[in-house]
Every structure is written in C-alpha cells, then in structure tokens.
Amino acid sequence: MYETLVVGGGVAGLQAAVFTAKAGLETLVLTSGDPLVCRTDKIQNLVTHERVAGDQIVETGRERVRALGGEIEEATVTDLTREGTPGPFTATTESGETHTGSRVVVATAGNLDFLEPLSEEIVYTDGREGEFTMDRHVRTDDANRATENLYVAGLANTWEYQTAVAIGDGAKAAVNLVSDSRDEAYVDHDW
C-alpha cells in the first residue's frame, strides 16, 4: 500500500512525485507513453533555463523522484476504483496488476477514461478550443482536489498549455496532498 499513487509521469506528475517522495510519503508513479513535453527540444520560457529539451526535463525529473525514494513503473492504468470514501484507491493496469494507495494524483493530460469507475464523484469541465488543447479537464477546488484524497494536476486539471504551469500545478497538488495527510500546512524549506 503506497501513501501516494501518481498516475501519469509527465512534468506535472513527476513534480508532484518529487514533492511527495521528499516529504517522506511512499510514492509510486505509474506511467506509460511519452509525455507531451518530449515533443519539443527547445523550451525557452522557463525561469530556470535559457533553453531546455523536454526529454531532459523528464529524465531529470525521473532521476529526482528515484533519488528521493519514489518508484516509477511503466504501466497504463485502465481503472481507478475505491470501495467507499475516503479510500484507499486501487489502480489496475493493462497487464492486470493492481496497486493501492491512500491518495492519488492524476496527471495524465487528456486521458481521463480510467476515472470512469469514479464517475459519481468526479465532475468535468469542457476544454478550451484550440489546436493542442484537451477535450475536457477534471474540475478541482483551489487545492487541486477533485474529491476526497484525489488530486489532479497539469493538463488533466487546467487548459493552460505550458510546461511551467504544469510543473507548478503538480507542486501545488502535492503540497496540498501532503498538508491533508498531516492535517497541517506543509512547508518544505531546504535550509
């Protein structure tokens, strides 16, 4: 049983996992397929880099998650279920494996079909029209919560199609997840 399952290992999911792993929560990232950011090799609008390739962000993110004690498994999640609220959740993968977690961060951009079993708990909003935009997003509160113990980040949550937004949104979801798990405001200072 993990304390945090992250579904989707793009920039939003990896950033969320870096936070939860660093906070000491047992964290598993389940992901398959290339993150969208890997389709560009010249992101130029991040405050940390003059120019950076998407592949490099993802590779560094995966290294950071593992260095902090998190796990990453290549797997497509087909169903996310729970028997009653507050959980725990069970993520079933294409191969039939199951993983349980007390809390979940969804960061799968436009792929939200695996949330179907939770349809009574989750509300969607329409996506914005545009060339690269998603059809729909999960509606969340100000703390990225879609429902109790389920957080959503990046393009799964917001239409703003920017790497910096997805990274920040992953961090925000995770800070709130850790705060909820401790029942106090979580502050992570690297002194």
Ligand X SMILES: Cc1cc2nc3c(=O)[nH]c(=O)nc-3n(C[C@H](O)[C@H](O)[C@H](O)COP(=O)(O)OP(=O)(O)OC[C@H]3O[C@@H](n4cnc5c(N)ncnc54)[C@H](O)[C@@H]3O)c2cc1C
Closest contact distance (angstroms) between CB of 108 and ligand X is 4
Distance from C-alpha of 69 to C-alpha of 20, rounded to nearest angstrom: 10
Does residue 11 sit in helix, strand or coil?
helix
Please tell me whether residue 149 binds ligand X under the rule CB under 6 A: no
According to CB under 6 A, which residues from 31 to 70 bind ligand X? 31-37, 39-40, 43, 45
The 92-131 site mask, x for binding ligand X (CB under 6 A), equals: ---------------xxx-x--x-----------------
State CA 158 to chain mean position distance. Answer: 12
Please tell me whether residue 179 binds ligand X under the rule CB under 6 A: no
Q: 3, 10, 65, 168: which one contacts ligand X (CB under 6 A)?
A: 10
Please tell me whether residue 77 binds ligand X under the rule CB under 6 A: yes
Please tell me whether residue 134 binds ligand X under the rule CB under 6 A: no
Q: Phi and psi of 98, rounded to 5°?
A: -125, 145
Does residue 43 sit in helix, strand or coil?
strand
Look at the chain and count its residues.
Answer: 191
Closest contact distance (angstroms) between CB of 39 and ligand X is 4
Please tell me whether residue 76 binds ligand X under the rule CB under 6 A: yes
Q: What are the DSSP E strand ranges found in the chain?
A: 2-7, 27-31, 71-74, 77-82, 89-93, 98-106, 124-126, 136-138, 145-147, 150-152
Contact positions vs ligand X (CB under 6 A): 7-13, 30-37, 39-40, 43, 45, 76-77, 107-109, 111, 114, 132, 154-155, 161-164, 166
